[in-house]
Amino acid sequence: MSWTFSQRAQKLTSSAIREILKVTERPEVISFAGGLPSPATFPVERLQAACVDVLTNAPAPALQYGPTEGYLPLREWVAARYNVSTDNVLITTGSQQGLDLLGKVLIDVGSRVLVETPTYLGALQAFSLSEPSFVSVPSDDEGVVPEELTAELTDGARFLYCLPNFQNPTGRRLPVERRRKLARIAADAGLLLLEDDPYGALAYQGEQLPTLYSMNPDGVVHMGSFSKVLAPGLRVGYLIAPEMLHRKLVQAKQAADLHTPSFTQRIVHEVIKGGFLDEHIPKVRALYGAQCQAMLEALRKYFPPSVTWNQPEGGMFIWVKLPEHVDGMQLLDKAIAQNVAFVPGAPFFANEPQTNTLRLSFVTVPKEKIFEGIERLGQIIARECSG
């Protein structure tokens, strides 16, 4: 039997990270590659109890079709948390679905889409299905540089996709002054901002900073997720969007999956409704914060002086810059041969990849293994640097 794939499907490629993760599943590999939350943070007993509650008290609606917009009490919870109207909240099947839906309703073939340098690979994948023309906006260690949003870039652009909190892949956080500037410049230029924020609650130092959405609710879509604060397998996220866009997104979601599972939405709500996250998130922060410190200490101890990295104030990642001539992809082959893994930085760039970069996740590997893995990686890098 033969069939013809759509042109769109023919252009699809697998995420470099997912391919790497397959290799790193071998138990002997110390993997800093995955962006997975630590299973130690999953509130298993609470989730178990919530399943029983939901199936005992509301079995029919939990197992029935539901509204596309989402389970109303969960939407109300999100609305209260962000101090917005419930009408603006859409529950999504993970924030990844938010990215997919936004791509579908905002991008035509060839549309200009602005992204950070580098940016979240999963967003590049989601938007790529609509075949935009990506433009990487110059960014530095603090994130996107607002002044770089010249009229030449913003005119006709469909949106700027940005990650102000502990960005995936760099772990960097956009300072509050830059947020204000960015929100103002975008508003003046009529540029829509997509604010992806799965890591905002995971701040290990300093306070949580105001969202871009709070600075211009008419010109920003905010995306959030329960993946990093409860469990990613639940696949429950949300977005907050201006009214007209919200309506379009609901239509697109109807076509995609009718609605996010009634069952998991109710379980999430059952767990969080009494304020559980306010006691749970500090525990996640404490664990990840300690892991982050351990990795920073290991890096200082074992990485050669020609290598630099950032000091994240939250999130799950550290971004490493190698000397110019060292290629992250080639380094990975050598690292895997020595049973240690990371994600090379190049796939996170929409244009002109910086090949001498890599991303390290510090959340899933236990502390003693962090030291062992970073020591091994440091030796491999040292050989490359001198070679």
Q: Which residue is nearest to ligand PLP (CB)?
A: 94
368: exposed, middle or buried (Cβ count in 10 Å: 0-12, 13-18, 19+): exposed
Selected from 88, 165, 227, 265, the binder of ligand PLP by CB under 6 A is 227
Binding of residue 94 to ligand PLP (CB under 6 A): yes
- Minimum distance of ligand PLP from residue 341's CB (angstroms): 17
> Cβ of residue 379: shortest distance to ligand PLP, in angstroms?
29
Task: Please report how close the Cβ of residue 387 comes to ligand PLP at its closest, in angstroms.
Answer: 33
Q: In whole angstroms, give the CA distance from residue 11 to residue 256.
A: 20
| Shortest Å distance, C-beta 99 to ligand PLP | 7
Sheet holding 112-116, edge to edge: 89-92, 237-240, 220-225, 193-196, 159-162, 112-116, 133-137
> What count of other Cβ atoms lies within 10 Å of the Cβ of residue 230?
25
Binding flag, residue 196, ligand PLP (CB under 6 A) = yes
Is 200 a binding residue for ligand PLP by CB under 6 A? The answer is no
Give the other-Cβ count within 10 Å of 48's Cβ. Answer: 11
Q: Does 345 bind ligand PLP (CB under 6 A)?
A: no
195 touches ligand PLP (CB under 6 A): no
Residue 198's Cα: distance from chain center in Å?
6
Rule CB under 6 A: is residue 198 a binding residue for ligand PLP?
yes
DSSP state of 38: P
Q: Rounded distance, CA 27 to CA 361, Å?
A: 17
66 binds ligand PLP (CB under 6 A): no
Site for ligand PLP contains 125 (CB under 6 A): no
Q: Tell the smallest beta-carbon distance from residue 196 to ligand PLP (Å).
A: 5
Q: Pick one of 103, 118, 122, 378: the residue that binds ligand PLP (CB under 6 A).
A: 122
Among candidate residues 268, 248, 266, 258, the one with its CA nearest the CA of residue 67? 258
CA gap 385, 361 in Å, rounded: 22
- Neighbouring CB atoms inside 10 A of 130's CB total 20
Whichever of 95 and 130 has its CB closer to ligand PLP, that residue is: 95
- Residue number with CB closer to ligand PLP (225 or 357): 225
Interaction site with ligand PLP (CB under 6 A): 35, 94-96, 120, 122, 163, 168, 196, 198, 225, 227, 232, 237
